[in-house]
Amino acid sequence: MSDPECIRIEIRTEKDIVLARQTGRNLSIELGYGRIVQSRIATAISELARNIFLYAESGFIEIDIVQQGSLTGLRVIACDQGPGIVDIRKALQDGYSTSGALGAGLPGVKRMMDEFYIDSSEEQGTKVTIIKWKN
């Protein structure tokens, strides 16, 4: 992404997950989101970063501010070059997990955000884009 306002965090270690989460929370505070929404944004970023760490070993999180008409939003893009998600529909079902975790990750992220897009393949890895609009 060439946007100079975009913040990019490489995800390779658990410390990177914490950095991505905190960066998203700080930006949501600056934009004036309420505390509940700040927590949702931070949680969503943490889930996406953790997925990169667990399933792809490395990738990145990009966080930026987007405008659509009079709306302002926080956009997060999570990308990796991992093995991809074989069955996206199944991965978006509550309780589904390939790691033995609770399986609330992607379905929870989708519920917490206003927009959720996912593209995944063995050749390209996975890209998840989420947006939370400010009311």
Quick one: pLDDT at residue 103? Answer: 46
What is the overall mean pLDDT for the chain?
Answer: 89
**Amino acid letter for position 57:** E
pLDDT of residue 122: 86
With a CB cutoff of 8 Å and minimum separation 6, the contacts of 15 are none
Asked if residue 1 has pLDDT above 50, the reply is: no
Q: What is the per-residue pLDDT across 58-80, written as a single tens digit (0 to 9) for each?
A: 899 999 999 999 999 999 999 99
CATH of 7-133, one of 1.50.10.100, 3.30.360.10, 3.30.565.10, 2.40.480.10: 3.30.565.10
For residue 49, which of 73, 24, 21 has the smallest C-alpha distance?
Answer: 21
pLDDT tens readout for residues 78-99:
999 988 888 888 878 766 665 5
Domain locations in the chain? 7-133
